[in-house]
Amino acid sequence: MKGNNYMAKRRPSGDGLVRKRTDGRWEGRIVVGHKEDGKPIYRSVFAEKQSDLMPKLHELKDQYAGIELTEDSSITLGEWLGRWLEEYKKPTLRPSTYAGYSKDIANHILPYLGAKKLTQLKTADIQKHYNRLLESGRIQDNGKGKGLSNATVRGIHMVLREALDSAVREGLIPKNPADGTSPPKIYRNEKQVLTKDQLETFMKLIEGDEEWYDFFYTEIITGMRQGEICGLRWEDFDGEKRTLRVARSVDFVNKELVIGETKTEDGKRTIYLPDSLWHILAERQRQKGAFSDWIFPNLLQPELPLNPSRAYRQLKKLLEIGGLPGIRFHDLRHTFTSHAANSGIAPKTLSEIVGHTKASFTLDHYAHVTSDMQKNAANIVNNYITDILGKELKPWQSEEKRAKDR
């Protein structure tokens, strides 16, 4: 009965009081939630004068409007991040992405902010932490700190903000303190694309390499992600229909090969093969199909797929030999998309080939203009002007034509 009487008198969230304390200060207090036994959870503000207190109290009420905190709200940031990773992110993230989140949290958030109560974490705390990371976030062997890059700190910010957004949705905190911070801006380097001449040089380099020619030719012709091409199995190749199915991705995480899903749901796709690639894969299957289930296996352990890191090292070696720009593996994907777009492949078709949800994303992020493409565009303009006028006019002929037309 005593418990029932207490529950009947349970104070609603938002209820509060104003009082003058024995130390002379004024306190404003409101109910912001309840414990499991029904007892209220309070938040307070203080001021020297009652007139100064009221604006603070109104701000506090607005801050917690619609919020019902629980005893879980007393957990630390570190405890919440552990739960968030395990319950919210692990089931949905690719292994490599999950490993990246875990590394950022363990190395760059927990040592500095992990012990802080979730409800006591302020925007100023997070901003100060970002500044610290930029100045001395990486600890060297000599004990002296070296700052993290803008891109790394911004990545840490994105992880922390996402975790705190989830805490807001769970009712653990009234608002996300990371929203008011100013993370560093990223000045992205221009993505590199091999020109037509550079691409020809690259293909000549691999022509005599039996192990790598098929692999890099497939990449240049399809624009697959690195993990996707390493994850191809012979069951994905349909010689009769001349198609190749992209169904999985191989990542190298914590020194282990992890075979998982493609980066996005749209990453699962079927590609129709041009004749040249179909012939290469059909011949490869005839010669090596019985050797492994993987189209591009680990030669020493054919039951395993090719390690993406080995493919990356081979790419760098070939680029150095050929005196070509030191591009990333992902830039081969940019190279394919840019040249394909320039050749007239429709944006929607191109986005489906490379596994993007929207054609606009493909064009905005992957189609780049090289000098070859600019020259090609100039030729196209020249040709249609010639078609209109009948022939290409020299500058002095243009002046004569304008004089006659007057």
* pLDDT tens per residue, range 179-217: 999 998 877 666 688 888 888 898 888 887 778 999 998
68-81 burial by CB neighbour count: b if 16+ within 10 A, else e? ebeeebebbbbebb
User: Which domains does the chain carry?
Assistant: 2-61 (no CATH), 74-180 (1.10.150.130), 196-366 (1.10.443.10), 372-405 (no CATH)
Q: Residue 151: what pLDDT? A: 86
Residue 154 has pLDDT above 80, yes or no: yes
Model confidence at 332: pLDDT above 80: yes
pLDDT band at 337 (very low <50, low <70, confident <90, very high): confident
Give tens-digit pLDDT for 225-265.
889 999 999 999 999 999 999 988 888 877 788 887 766 66
Q: What is the pLDDT of residues 76-102, one digit of tens each?
A: 999 999 999 999 998 888 787 888 899
Q: pLDDT > 70: what percent of the chain?
A: 75
What is the mean predicted confidence (pLDDT) over 165-172?
88
Query: Residue 188 CB: number of other CB atoms within 10 A?
Result: 7
pLDDT at 74 over 70: yes
Judge residue 219's burial from the number of C-beta atoms within 10 Å of its C-beta, 0-12 exposed, 13-18 middle, 19 or more buried: buried
Q: Are 30 and 42 in contact (CB under 8 A)?
A: yes
Three-point CA angle 206, 210, 212, nearest 5°: 55
**Please, which pLDDT band fits residue 62 given cuts at 50, 70 and 90?**
confident
Single-letter amino acid, residue 213:
Y
Per-residue pLDDT tens digits for 368-392: 444 454 445 445 444 543 454 454 4
